[in-house]
């Protein structure tokens, strides 16, 4: 395989590698290292069945079956369908654009390691792709924090709540999402994680906060917590930390949820169709390997 870093704050392209083929131990080790180092990997010109996408993703850890998602590949619930396409009056996938900055599964007791998305239909307008995915580098965001804030927050945790993000998405124009049921809320109660994590691959510190799910800094007065979170949310999305991926049909896009935050850009209309299949990998294996 050939791995070419992007000129931006994060990201690398992986070429001459067929994700539909079995993954050797050596290739897996190289890709895991590259993912930790670059934060985002994309594999152009792939042709995959849903089962092949699942098989590749399973190398990195246990796959999540989302508690609130009914849009799954038939017979393969670990593969989620993300789309704005409506057929016979029914959506075929969960709309995922317009989500603002977040980190998937920070609302779970065991957080997410990586997301792996396969682009099947990509909307274009005037020759340019729409629905691109943005990322920010949380290694760099931590490094640049003022020393006093690193000291103040060193032993602090943040409460994350799945319902915060879900309700924000329900308020989006055209959203058909229902409120979470009592059973869904019980399955995903609020959880807390350290403000700063040691990345299991790079062994460096990262800022683990995001405006999608973070509710409060625990052990602080509400006003102080709010001021600190506002500062962190502005700090972590500065242009110098960013990379925006322009989608192409056949792209497999993979990112590290521990060392990045991301945002799905909602710049396409309902008639500009987008179809993505996704696996979400829990960080059980990657943390177990360093214990």
DSSP states along 120-134: EE--EETTEE-S-EE
| Per-residue CA distances from 168 to 28, 129, 163 (Å) | 36, 26, 8
Residue 169: pLDDT band with limits 50, 70, 90? low
pLDDT at position 290 is 67
Among the listed ranges 78-92, 139-153, 166-180, which one has the minimum average pLDDT value?
166-180
Q: How many domains does the chain have?
A: 1
Among the listed ranges 124-128, 132-136, 137-141, 167-171, which one has the minimum average pLDDT value?
167-171
- pTM for this entry: 0.91
Among the listed ranges 52-56, 65-69, 124-128, 227-231, which one has the minimum average pLDDT value?
65-69
E-assigned strands of 211-274? 214-217, 242-245, 252-256, 260-264
CATH code of the domain covering residue 161: 3.60.130.10
pLDDT tens, 243-288? 999 999 999 999 999 999 999 998 999 999 999 999 999 999 999 9
pLDDT tens, 16-27? 999 999 999 999
Residue 185: pLDDT band with limits 50, 70, 90? confident
| Per-residue CA distances from 33 to 9, 57, 62 (Å) | 17, 15, 18
| Per-residue CA distances from 134 to 10, 11, 109, 137, 173 (Å) | 11, 11, 25, 10, 21
pLDDT at 80 over 90: yes
DSSP label of 226: H
Closest CA to 224 of 173, 276, 153: 153
The residues, ordered by sequence, that sit 6+ positions from 264 with a Cβ below 8 Å of its Cβ are 96, 97, 98, 99, 131, 133, 134
pLDDT at position 171 is 63
Range of the domain at 179: 2-288
Q: In what order do the strands lie in the sheet with 191-194?
A: 191-194, 157-160, 214-217
pLDDT at position 110 is 93
**Greatest Cα-to-Cα distance within the chain, rounded to the nearest angstrom:** 57
Secondary structure in 3-state letters for 163-199: HHHHHHHHCCCCCCCCCCCHHHHHHCCCEEEECEEEC
Tell me the average pLDDT across 190-205.
Answer: 97
Return the higher-pLDDT residue of 199 and 187. Answer: 199
């Amino acid at each position: 395989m050939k791995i070419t870093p992007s000129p931006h704050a994060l990201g690398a392209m992986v070429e001459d590698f067929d994700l539909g083929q079995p993954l050797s131990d050596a290739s897996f080790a190289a890709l895991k290292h590259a993912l930790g180092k670059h934060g985002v990997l994309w594999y152009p010109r792939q042709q995959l069945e849903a089962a092949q996408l699942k098989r590749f993703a399973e190398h990195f850890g246990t796959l999540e079956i989302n508690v609130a998602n009914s849009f799954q590949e038939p017979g393969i619930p670990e593969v989620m369908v993300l789309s704005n396409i409506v057929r016979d009056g029914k959506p075929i996938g969960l709309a995922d654009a317009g989500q603002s900055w977040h980190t998937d599964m920070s609302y779970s007791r065991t957080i997410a390691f990586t997301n792996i998305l396969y682009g099947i239909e990509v909307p274009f307008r005037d020759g340019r792709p729409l629905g691109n995915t943005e990322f920010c580098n949380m290694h760099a965001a931590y490094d640049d924090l003022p020393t006093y804030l690193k000291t103040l927050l060193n032993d602090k945790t943040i409460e994350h709540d799945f319902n915060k993000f879900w309700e924000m998405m329900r308020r989006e124009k055209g959203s058909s999402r229902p409120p979470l049921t009592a059973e869904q809320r019980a399955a995903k109660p609020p959880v807390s994680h350290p403000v700063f994590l040691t990345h299991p691959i790079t062994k460096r510190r990262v800022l683990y906060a995001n405006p999608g799910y973070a509710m409060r800094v625990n052990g602080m007065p509400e006003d102080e917590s709010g001021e600190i979170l506002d500062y962190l949310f502005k700090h972590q999305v500065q242009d110098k930390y960013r990379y925006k991926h322009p989608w192409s049909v056949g792209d497999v896009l993979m990112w590290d949820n521990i060392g990045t935050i991301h945002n799905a850009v909602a710049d396409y209309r309902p008639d500009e169709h987008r179809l993505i299949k996704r696996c979400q990998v829990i960080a059980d294996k990657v943390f177990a390997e360093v214990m």
